[in-house]
Structure 1
Amino acid sequence: MWRRLLVSLGLLCSFLLGAEEVVFSDLVLSPLNTVLFTASLSVPGVGAYRTAFWAEPGTGTLQQLSFFPERMRFLPALGKVQIYNRYGLFRIPLEGGRVEVVERFPAFVRGAEIATTSPLPIATSPDGRYLVHFEKDSPAYGTLVMVDLETGEEVVVAEGIELSYREIPVSWAPDSSLFLYAHDGMVYYFSISQWREGRVLSPERRVMGRGKIGSVFWGGGGRLYFVEGTVIKVFRKEEIFTHGFYYGVVKVGRVVGKLPFHFDPNFDRLWIGPEENFVLFCRAGRDVFLYPLDREDYEGGALQEPSLVLPRRMYLEDVVWDDEGKLTLFVKEVHDGTVERRLFWMVVGSQRVFEEREERPQVWALSEDGSYLALAMEDGVHLYRYDSWTEVGRIDHPEPVVLAWAGDDLVVGGRWSVSRYGRDGSLKALLCISQPEGLGFTVGDYRPMVWAGKDTVQWDVARAVFEVREDRPAAGAPVLNTSAYRVYLQDLPEQPYRNIVMVRDLQGLSTYPLFPPPERSYEPFPEKDESVDFTYFTHGSRLRRREVALVFNAISSAEGLVRVLELLKEYGVKATFFLNGDFMRENPGATRQISTFAAEVGSLFYTHFDMSDSRFALSEGFIQQGLARTEDEYFEITGRELALLWHAPYYFVREDLLRAAAAMNYVYVGCDVDSLDWVPQFTREGESRLYAPAARLVERIVSMKKPGSIVAFTVGRPDEKDPVRRREDYLFQKLDVFLNELIARGYRFVTVSELMEHAR
């Protein structure tokens, strides 16, 4: 009871101290002068968790005792489960009993710093031997590196790759012989055999075509499908090399189908059926079409195949498609301040419409042979025969986070433990503790023990193995000193670690940290503050807090809004939205979405026009009427009131406008960092001088922001109504990159009202 209370208080502290800091706690010192402690942090979409460690101050040995499955997969060739989190990369045999720290990959127990941001994704080859990962070079760019985990050899695949915290732009061939990667709007291949033989060609001789990693799909027999424009081509493995060498000169590969729409790799997705006779095309995440895969040219023809049109609050997240043609769509719905999944199902070839099912899973996994589907829901993990949707078992595993099939067994990664179960739901093995509810030492030999729920493990740190136990050490006050050592916690101001474990060597008369402190500190504050205008508020205090306010201006388009709201909720970011009357009238559903998700909503006036235009005479009465009508319209749509914050279209400001709004108790909110995400690549006059790709915009914003900044974004796409005003990509697709960079620099996110209050 005492230990559980201690851990619960520690988790609460990690929430209060902020998601960007690592907090160490739960120190226990054994008579053998070994130390137990925990580290806690918070993960977007998962919440706070802690990790247990054992250390020996005399030798500097450090060993991890719990392994939270932030990301998890099964490696069939090795027969091991791979877990990836902020502390490193780990592999666990299916029988459990030991956890291997993957060599040649950064790990906290080997001296690496704990990442306070989301871990950048990795791509492990199917045979488990090779690993492709990012090495971060700047806020939005990195180097793509491949590592041979057996030999330790590394090779730089490409530099200047745009970072993403959702996926790495890599797709491995099923036989691990090569992978494809995307760089700067092009897709390339990288061959393992060519690398081994020292004959890697230059990138221009390894081109597959224009697109992103979503433009490729691996089929049976190692066949590669590639979509470019409206054409779907298939390549045999040997044709990949020929195509790359003669790209743009000789046409290689076979056209197997055409899309009825131009494929946009920014928003569209494609799946080829297991029998490779049907294609599922998802346009802009919401319009889903299923049709035969053939070379029929759809120009001038009628498309009469099954389709599904999703409302703007939903988007297609994933697809499960078995060899018998049973197709399930996993759709994410962002609505009424919550995020949940919905299922749509059909049998390809025998049904004409998708049927919605009643299950609302959090995570899912289809067995390798397509026979069984596992769905994790609020009441446990349900196992179904996929051909009939007959439930055949239920696993009562507390708080599942991720699922992975391992042959006939299901591995459930939960908040407290990771276990392997049979298809009938029977427990076969405890693979590891995810996070501890308690920890302590055994009596007599003082071996470390970690437990959570009903599961307890005892570690033999010398052999790096553990065994499952039924007993637990008796509760008692933690021991922090022996005749040789004393251990304690010391605060680290302005550091990614909130504190650090210190060791006082009573015999050697020295004091030192148990492990290396972080090398980086948070960004320094400016040398002096700047005056703050509370009538025309453009920034907060530069010295009091390391915080920024994110502002999202909704003018016309609502494209990408669902992903923005989902990310803000996932990262716990409080933001301020400004809504224009035109947006509300054209997008009442999106307006209601914003009202339930946004921490604060202000006015962007009744209609959107250039107030600096000399053709318009603006009176104080006109401004007041426009603000009042916007308030009333927002209330009619949402049943809620706007905050008394506003700014004019295009941030136009004039003294009489400020005076008119102030008479209604409105504060004019400007910004000191314009993201420029509204700038198109081209206008009708030609190329835009201010245009930059989304990753460059992230770098620009990061370099310009200061403590107290107001950073302005624009909701939607500038080309939704005017195709000429298109961009190659969109900043809302890089919002997670921006958020992680500011978190790493020690920033917190507040509303405009909070920023004002903190500046007074």
Structure 2
Amino acid sequence: MKKTNLLNYLLGTIILVSASSVYAGVKLDDIDVASDDRLLFTAEQKVPGVAEYKSLYCTKLGDEKITSDPVLLTCFPERMELLDEGKILQIRNKDGLSRYSTEEGKITKVDDGNHGKTLRTFPIASSQDGKWYCTVNPVKKATGNLVLVNSKTLLQKVLVENVDLDYSSMKVKWAPDGKALLYENNNSVYFATPDAVVKNLQVNENFRKIGEGSIDSVQWTQDKKIIYLKDDVVYCIEQNELYTRGLYSALVGNGKIISRLPVEFNCLTDKFWCNGKGNRIAVISRGNILSIYTVGIEEKNAHAKVDLICPLTEVAGTSLGYEMFWTADGKALLWNDSMDYADNEKTGTIYSVENNMAVVAKASRSIAPVMSPDNRKLAYTDNGALKVFDLSSMLETASYDKESVISVAWAGRNALYIGGKKTVGFFNVLTKESNILFLSSVDKAYWNAGFIVTKISDEKGFYCYDAEKNIWVPYRIPDVELSAKDKNGRYRAYVGKATNAKYDNTIFVRCLSGKTYTYSVFPDAMKETCNGRKVALALDAMENSEGLGKVLHVLSEYGIKVTFFLNGEFIRRYPEKTRLIANSGNDCGSLFYTAADLVENNFVIDASFITRGLARNEDEYFAATKKELTLLWHAPYYHDTQLIRTSGNTAGYEYVSAFSKFSDRTTYERSQEKAEPYKSASEIINGMVEGLEDGMIIPVCIGKANGTRKDYLYEKLDLLIAAILESGYEITDVQGLK
């Protein structure tokens, strides 16, 4: 490797990381000062919901301040995608977007305009050839603009404004050849062609409408047809007919009817998948029932043939979500993520669902499974180890357990890019061989003969930073012990206390020659900030349990403790799920023994009614969990009177009032009847965050309301938590506000 002026080269190739982009909780450490005044240090990223890791930075010291912004030398693979027909491996994390050229073996840092806006990265939807992808650029905390991006030029075009942000999915589906895409907007599905979009030749959206519904109402087949479900009707639309049907939809309808379902499809609660030929579909209704049908029967109004109807009640624990896979030979497989009632651990299970539900594999704490391009293999993780599952033999055919795997991207039928906690590498599924491309993170790095060197592990040995390609290469060093230096003849660097709450500490530099002066590498770290702002989350379990598993998983993922308020109706209906909440480590208060609205005119209540109701709820909770409730409570729906509040006080309970300006209990029907404004979950989050105050209690109700809503706040709890944290607030349980 050529010995170059490392710092000057880095400034031209890597994005500069300013102090303002360092998130709360960052810990600076592992300093090493070179003889030419270059400084190495690590920053440990403590981002909720993302694995902890150390990033390596380099900067140049000066007499009164650093002479260049710190430069990032590692690349953590929070998300990875293969783009531009396999020529680019894209790596994304909160530090920004990087691209590894598979032809040149070189990393380039790219500014996509979203750097520093969010704690975590959002998914993208890329075309199969990787020439295009769609993403949502955040505008507010929970909403943004859906854009189409040219993978090579990074040219962006807005498809839809003001769409919901989502950490787990994109409301876009690409045609197999990448020449068209489907997207959702305002409760309808539309198509677009990327070439027309970038050339500003796209016709008005009204003429590109597939039909009413959501992105879950449509699927592409391998021969580029669209299967569209509306109510109980199954439509088939040819890709070459899209514009014709868009322009003349009033005359020709939504497409060719190929079957009718025995049960209507609800695009708000149901999901469906089709096989490559489009002649078999699988529907999961309300997350409870799996149905598989054969469709495409010649008679126009013929009902689909029922291949399988299976209740999903056999799933162990509480479900976090489902995904369906169709193998190359037409077999149907179901992946289910669930949270075990016994230990609250996330488990992924693969079921064969041809004749019945049969377990074929299990995995603990897996990443989202990824199908190979030929639909013959499935990649997932089990306790951090990569597993490759052959879908023909239904057996594990390869594994990689040298480090914890964070993300993967298929590089063909038999190869994978593996994003590990320490390295990003290439893995051959057939030969089981792997090689390191670059480093994800480092524990510590050193200067050695002018080079930056780190030891990955005893097995993988030492690696040296290649400034020309921005990657790391194997390095053989003399048999000497590496040691870091905190000073040279001109400067001494040390770690000290920061006054800014966004920093756990900071790095100070003291000049040892000439004018005596001490400064912080990050000046913002020494600026006073408003500390101690807190809000509490109150999770209300009233009558339904939908989404409880995901809620508990999100809380665990973010390491946040909240207060659950449990109603007697919930405890009686779901004793197992009540125990799941009780054993989760969260605070549990009372939501009274009945779910009735206590201030309605048909109720006549007195102090005895309240105290007896609270006592009954205590008894039922103890019978279910063998634990006691915290002496906090609120009335159902937070509807109360002075009598209700004081009666609870006499029973030893403290009454809790919560933020009530916005609510996801307002359904479409209630909005019409009561003239209450209907707001989506994302709009509610935006409104809540804009009005955050120290000491605020934010209510989130588990389960669905009686009526129709497109989405619920509990479904976007991860987005709400991230928005609060990004606004500079700590999240606690109700007692933590005292």
Q: Deviations over 1:462-509 (max 9, x none)?
A: 443431235489556532333455555576655655556566778897
SS of match in other structure, 1:318 = strand
In the TM superposition, what is the alpha-carbon distance from 1:750 to its structure 2 partner? 0.9
SS of equivalent to 1:161: strand
Note closer, same or farther for the CA distance 1:636–1:34 as it changes in structure 2 (3 Å cut).
same
Q: Are 2:29 and 2:43, in contact at CA under 8 Å, matched by a contact in 1?
A: yes
Which segments of 5 or more consecutive residues in structure 1 lack a partner in the other structure?
1-17, 526-543, 720-724
Q: Measure the CA separation in 1 of the matches of 2:560 and 2:623.
A: 27
Per the alignment, residue 332 of structure 1 pairs with: 337
The structural deviation recorded for 1:230 is 2.9
Q: Does 1:434 align with 2:440?
A: yes
Is residue 2:733 matched to residue 1:733?
A: no
2:74 corresponding residue in structure 1: 66
Q: Are the counterparts in 2 of residues 401 and 413 from structure 1 also a CA contact under 8 Å?
A: yes
Residue in structure 2 matching 1:126, options 122, 125, 128: 128
Partner of 2:623: 636
Match for residue 112 of structure 2? 105
Q: Which residue in 2 is equivalent to 1:722?
A: none
Please report how far the alpha carbon of residue 290 of structure 1 lies from its aligned counterpart in structure 2 after TM superposition: 0.9
Cα offsets for 1:135-164 (capped at 9, x unmatched): 222222212233334335332222212222
- The residue that corresponds to 1:357 in the other structure is 360
- Is 1:577 matched with 2:578? no
Under a length normalisation based on structure 1, what TM-score does the superposition of the two structures give? 0.83
Tell me the equivalent position of 1:623: 610
* Rounded Cα–Cα distance in structure 2 between residues aligned with 1:266 and 1:439: 51
Match of residue 54, structure 2, among 50, 57, 66: 50
Between 1:473-482 and 1:205-214, the stretch displaced more is 473-482
1:748 is aligned, of 691, 707, 730, to: 730
User: Within 1, Cα distance between the matches of 2:209 and 2:302?
Assistant: 32
Amino acid at match of 1:457: Y
The Cα shift of 1:548 comes to: 0.8
Within the candidate set 416, 420, 427, 1:421 is matched to: 427
CA distance in 1, matches of 2:578, 2:190: 41
Q: Is the 8 A contact 1:66 1:435 kept in 2?
A: yes
Preserved CA contact (<8 Å) 1:123 1:133:
yes
How far did 1:706 drift? 0.6
Deviations 1:517-564 (A, max 9, x none): 69xx99x86xxxxxxxxxxxxxxxxxx721111112222122222222
**1:720-739 Cα deviation digits (max 9, x unpaired):** xxxxx222322222222221
Q: How many residues align?
A: 704
Please list every run of 5 or more consecutive structure 2 residues that lacks an aligned counterpart in the other structure.
Answer: 1-21
Change (3 A) 1:171 1:42: farther
Q: Aligned partners of 1:572 and 1:269: how far apart in 2?
A: 30
Q: Secondary structure at the match of 1:291?
A: strand
Post-superposition offset of 1:249: 5.0
CA distance in 2, matches of 1:679, 1:508: 69
For residues 229 and 252 of structure 1, do their structure 2 counterparts lie closer, same or farther at Cα, with a shift above 3 Å needed? closer
CA 38–116 in structure 1, closer or farther in 2 if over 3 Å, else same: farther
2:543 corresponds to which of 556, 562, 579: 556
C-alpha distance in 1, partners of 2:73/2:288? Answer: 43
Aligned twin of 2:267: 265
Q: Equivalent of 1:292, from 291, 294, 300?
A: 294
Deviation track 1:222-270 (CA, whole Å, cap 9, x = no partner) reads 2233333333323222222223334445425323333333333333211
Distance 2:514 2:472 in 1: 33
Q: Deviations over 1:159-184 (max 9, x none)?
A: 21222222232223332323332222
2:408 match: 403
Choose which of 17, 25, 31 in structure 1 pairs with 2:29: 25
Paired residues of 1:433 and 1:450 also in contact (CA < 8 A): no
Q: Distance in 1 between matches of 2:372 and 2:672?
A: 55
TM-score, length-scaled by structure 2: 0.86
Return 481-490 or 403-412, whichever deviates more.
481-490
Contact 1:404-1:411 within 8 A present in 2 as well: yes
Give the aligned partner of residue 204 of structure 1.
206
CA deviations on 1:350-383 (whole Å, 9 max, x unpaired) are: xx21212353252444433334444422384344
Distance across 1 between alignment mates of 2:283 and 2:246 = 26
**What CA deviation, in whole Å up to 9, does each residue of 1:48-107 have, x standing for no partner?**
222122334587375433222211233471244332111122233558953232x34258
Asked if 2 retains the 8 angstrom alpha-carbon contact of 1:243 and 1:251, the reply is yes
The residue that corresponds to 1:280 in the other structure is 282
* SS of residue matched to 1:241: helix
Q: How many Å separate the matches in 2 of 1:615 and 1:654?
A: 15
| Partner Cα distance (1:659, 1:469) in 2 | 72
1:81 aligns with 2:89: yes
SS at match of 1:682: helix
Go from structure 1 to structure 2 and tell me whether the alpha carbon gap of 1:42 and 1:740 turns closer, same or farther (over 3 Å shift). Answer: same
Q: Share of identical aligned residues, percent?
A: 27
Cα distance in 1 between the residues matched to 2:301 and 2:562: 45
Q: Please say which of residues 191-200 and 473-482 is displaced more in the overlay.
A: 473-482
Residue 347 of structure 2 corresponds to which residue in structure 1? 341
Mapped to 2, the partners of 1:711 and 1:314 lie a distance apart of 25
Aligned to 2:673: 686
Please say if residues 554 and 579 of structure 1, whose CA atoms lie closer than 8 Å, have aligned partners that are also in contact. yes
Q: 1:178 aligns with which of 177, 180, 183?
A: 180
Q: Deviations over 1:288-314 (max 9, x none)?
A: 111102358999979753133223812
Equivalent residues of 2:49, 2:557 under 8 A apart: yes
Task: Give CA-to-partner distance per residue, 1:418-457, whole Å, 9 cap, x none.
Answer: 2222224532311222221221122x23334463563332
Preserved CA contact (<8 Å) 1:96 1:429:
no
After TM superposition, the structure 1 stretch with the greater mean CA deviation from structure 2, 41-50 or 485-494, is 485-494
1-side partners of 2:493 and 2:373: how far apart?
A: 49
Between the aligned partners of 2:615 and 2:298, the Cα distance in structure 1 is: 56
Q: 1:143 aligns with which of 118, 142, 145?
A: 145
